[in-house]
A and B are shown apart, each in its own frame.
Chain A
Amino acid sequence: MVASELAQYVVTGLLVGGVYALMSIGLALIFGVMRVVNFAQGDFMMLGMYLTYYYAVALHVDPLLGALFTLPPFFVLGLLVHRAFLTRVTGGGDPNREMDAQLILTLGLSLVITNTTTMILSPMPRGINAPYASKAFVLGPLLLNQARSYSFLMALLLAAGVYVLLTRTDLGRALRAAADDPEAAAYQAINVRAMHGVAFGIGIALVAAAGGLLATYHPIEPNVAVNFIVLMFVAVVLGGLGSIPGAFVGGLVIGLVQSLTLLLLPLQLQNVGVFVTFLVVLYVRPQGLFGRRARAV
Chain B
Amino acid sequence: MKRAHLLHWTRGWVGIAAIVAIGLALSLVITERYHHRILTLVFLWAAMGLAWNIISGYAGQISFGHQAFFGIGAYVTVLLAAKAGVTPWLGMLAGALVAVLAALLIGTPTFRLAGIYFGLATLAYPLIFRIVMDYLGYQEVAIPMVRDRPALFMQFTEPRSFDLLALALLAATLVLSRLIEGSRLGYSLRAIKENEQAALAMGVDAFRCKMAAYALSAAPAALAGAIYSHAILFVVTPEAVFGVLVIVQTLVVCLVGGVGTLWGPVIGAAIMIPVSEILDSTVGDRLPGIQGVVYGAALMGIMMFAPEGLFWRLGRGRAAAAAAPAPAATTAAAVEPDGATTRAAVPATSSAVVLDVRSVSKAFLGLQALTEVTFDVRDREILGIIGPNGAGKTTLFNVLNGFLLPERGEIRWQGEPITGLSPHLVCRRGIGRTFQVVRFFPRLTVLENVMVGAFAHGGTPAAATARAREALARVGLAGRAAVTPSGLTTLELRLMELARCLATAPRLVLLDEPLAGLAADGVEILSAMIRRVRRAGVTVVIIEHTIQALVKIADRLVVLDQGRRLAEGLPGDVTRNPAVIEAYLGQRWLARHASTHAADLRP
Contact = CB atoms under 8 A, between A and B. Distances in A.
A114 B123 contact: no
B566 interface: no
A118 interface: yes
Q: Which size bracket describes the interface of A in this complex?
A: 35 or more
Nearest to A102: B303
Secondary structure call for the A interface: helix
B123 A108 contact: no
Interface stretch (A152-160, A170-178, A269-277): A269-277
Interface in A74-123: 85, 88-89, 96, 99-105, 107-119, 123
Contacts of A59: none
Given A233-B123, A272-B128, A283-B109, A85 B304 contact: yes
Contacts of B295: 108, 111
A226 B244 contact: yes
A37 B579 CA distance: 51
Contacts of A271: 127, 131
A268 interface: yes
B293 A119 contact: yes
Nearest to B245: A111
A248 interface: no
Given A115-B292, A226-B244, A109 B117 contact: no
Given A100-B62, A104-B255, A112 B119 contact: no
Interface stretch (B27-35, B282-290, B378-386): B282-290
B590 interface: no
Contacts of A114: 289, 292
B289 A297 contact: no
Secondary structure call for the B interface: helix
Contacts of B255: 104
Interface in B295-330: 295-301, 303-304, 307
A206 interface: no
A117 to B, nearest CB: 8
B82 interface: no
Nearest to A294: B365
Q: Which size bracket describes the interface of B in this complex?
A: 35 or more
B124 interface: yes
Interface string A262-297: 000010110110011011001100100000000111
Interface in B110-126: 110, 112-117, 119-121, 123-124
B251 interface: yes
B289 A282 contact: no
Interface in A211-242: 222, 226, 230, 233, 237, 241
Given A107-B251, A123-B288, A283-B112, A115 B296 contact: yes
B304 A88 contact: yes
Of the listed residues B116, B127, B248, the one surrounded by the most CB atoms of chain A closer than 10 A to its CB is: B116
B14 interface: no
B304 A89 contact: yes
Contacts of B123: 230, 233
Given A100-B62, A278-B124, A282-B120, A112 B292 contact: yes
A118 B131 contact: no
B494 to A, nearest CB: 21
Given A89-B303, A105-B299, A230-B127, A286 B288 contact: no
Given A111-B296, A119-B289, A279 B121 contact: yes
Given A96-B115, A266-B135, A108 B296 contact: yes
Given A104-B255, A119-B287, A99 B116 contact: yes
A27 to B, nearest CB: 12
Interface string B248-287: 1001000100000000000000000000000000000001
A111 B303 CA distance: 14
Contacts of A269: 131-132, 135
B120 A116 contact: no
A3 B430 CA distance: 63
A103 B300 CA distance: 10
B116 A103 contact: yes
Contact of A268 (B109, B134, B290, B298): B134
B437 to A, nearest CB: 14
Contact of A118 (B62, B113, B288): B288
A238 to B, nearest CB: 11
Contacts of A296: 114-115
Of the listed residues B109, B288, B289, B301, the one surrounded by the most CB atoms of chain A closer than 10 A to its CB is: B289
Given A89-B304, A89-B307, A111-B299, A116 B293 contact: yes
Contact of B298 (A108, A115, A230, A286): A108
Interface string A186-220: 00000000000000000000000000000000000
Contacts of A103: 62, 116, 119
A88 B304 CA distance: 6
A291 B497 CA distance: 35
A100 B113 CA distance: 15
Given A104-B303, A275-B124, A110 B296 contact: yes
A16 to B, nearest CB: 19
Nearest to B251: A104
Contacts of B132: 269, 272
Nearest to A277: B124
Of the listed residues B124, B131, B251, the one surrounded by the most CB atoms of chain A closer than 10 A to its CB is: B124
B173 to A, nearest CB: 22
Interface of B: 62, 109-110, 112-117, 119-121, 123-124, 127-128, 131-132, 134-135, 244, 248, 251, 255, 287-293, 295-301, 303-304, 307
Interface of A: 37, 85, 88-89, 96, 99-105, 107-119, 123, 222, 226, 230, 233, 237, 241, 266, 268-269, 271-272, 275-276, 278-279, 282-283, 286, 295-297
19 contacts: A99-B116, A102-B303, A104-B303, A107-B296, A108-B303, A112-B297, A115-B290, A118-B289, A119-B289, A119-B293, A222-B289, A226-B244, A230-B127, A269-B131, A276-B128, A283-B112, A295-B114, A295-B117, A296-B115
Given A108-B298, A266-B135, A275-B128, 7 more contacts: A37-B116, A96-B116, A115-B296, A233-B120, A237-B117, A271-B131, A286-B113
Which 7 residue pairs are nearest across A and B when measured between Cβ atoms? A115-B289, A111-B296, A108-B299, A115-B292, A112-B296, A108-B300, A118-B289
